[in-house]
Chains A and B, each alone.
Chain A
Amino acid sequence: MGEHRVLYLVLVIVAVGIVSAQIGAYYYLEKISTPYGSTTGAVNTLINYGNGTLKWYNETRIPANWNFYNLTVYLTGGNVVASFNGLLNEHYVTGINGKENSSPYFWTLWTFCEKQNAWTQAPVGADKIFLGNNSTLAWAYQMPYRSPVPGARTIGLCS
């Protein structure tokens, strides 16, 4: 190793840098995924069925410990098809109110950024979105990456 000591040192330093960057990214993601804490409040939910049918559930009062998956199940009367991934501890939603994923159309999850007045695709699954007062979220059955509200602005990430 003597001859290549510098190379090994560089590799280790780069690895430490990568670990730091990834931990920082993970920390930031955790921070932006739960911006509202555990306060009760009213939540606005949109379900866009992709055929021109948009249903709003406005100002739904929710318990403090509910996540958006819980709310979805409540709003649809349990009519949600989802598989649970034990490793990620999340549900993968494939059907809402009888409408199921059928390539290239999928259920996509969106959050509304108040500051930018635009929609963004949720960076995490519904189980990881904890609800706060006046938050607005949407499920949209679509070919991915289109706004859940036709014509509305979309952005990459809320700031």
Chain B
Amino acid sequence: MKVALIAVFTAVSLGTNYAMIDIPNVKLMDAFVFIAAFLFGLEVGLGSAISIWLIYGFINPWGQADLIGLFFVTLGECFYAISGALLRRASVARDAVQTNRPYGRMNLLFGLIGFQATFAYDVLTNFGTYVVRTSSLYQALIIGMITGAPLAILHEGSNLFLFATVVPMAIAASKRMGLPIRNAS
């Protein structure tokens, strides 16, 4: 069952990635990885994150990722899975989902969590871009943040919007369908 879920989330993520390929750094896959982990557990989230990048990192119109870059983006993608899995256990998320008028709280909560997970992803991947090109880890961090700022802003802004809209809609829909938020068998 978990393998099937990972396959579905990977397929949907890849499909939307390729459909949105002309818009750099605006992707639904981060939200899908988060949803996978939130609804079905950490293993499904991590499995989806890794599977997505194993394919997207090699079959990509913008070029193939080098191994170091691939490592960092895959690790960064796992942040969304970890965020989703941690949040599903938190009372703040349960309260936001179960309240009678959930949308305001869910929009705010998931939007902020998604925004911050995206910032962490951008810091890590921009650092990874420069870690082999500079003489110190600190330099790699600072230079990565500066040079990566334009695309990072685009990424974080788009994910703030997507996490505040798409994620609550998916979770509310799963709640309406009676899908329990527990580990898949």
Contacts and interface: CB of A to CB of B under 8 A. Distances in A.
Interface size of A as a range: 20 to 34
A29 B146 contact: yes
Interface in B129-143: 130, 132-135, 139-140, 142-143
A22 B143 contact: no
Given A12-B112, A18-B115, A157 B22 contact: no
A123 B153 CA distance: 16
B63 A11 contact: no
B109 interface: yes
B112 A15 contact: yes
A145 interface: yes
Dominant secondary structure at the A interface: helix
A29 B108 contact: no
A124 B147 CA distance: 7
B116 A18 contact: yes
B135 A18 contact: no
Interface residues of B, number: 35
Given A1-B105, A29-B150, A121-B133, A156 B115 contact: no
A145 B133 contact: yes
Nearest to B145: A25
Given A145-B132, A145-B133, A15 B115 contact: yes
B113 interface: yes
Nearest to A21: B145
A127 to B, nearest CB: 13
B23 A4 contact: no
B112 A22 contact: no
Interface string A12-44: 101100100111011011001000000000000
A103 B63 CA distance: 9
A14 B63 contact: no
B92 interface: yes
Contacts of B105: 1
Given A87-B22, A87-B23, A14 B116 contact: yes
Contact of B146 (A4, A8, A25, A88): A25
B146 A28 contact: yes
B78 to A, nearest CB: 20
Interface string B76-116: 00000000000000011001000000000100110011011
Which 4 pairs show the lowest CB-CB distances between chains A and B? A156-B134, A25-B149, A123-B147, A26-B149
Given A11-B109, A156-B139, 10 more contacts: A15-B112, A21-B145, A22-B149, A25-B148, A25-B152, A26-B149, A28-B149, A87-B22, A121-B133, A157-B146
28 contacts: A4-B91, A7-B92, A8-B112, A11-B116, A14-B112, A14-B116, A15-B115, A18-B115, A18-B119, A21-B145, A22-B119, A22-B156, A29-B147, A29-B149, A32-B146, A87-B23, A121-B133, A123-B146, A123-B147, A124-B147, A145-B133, A154-B133, A155-B135, A156-B133, A156-B135, A156-B140, A156-B143, A157-B147
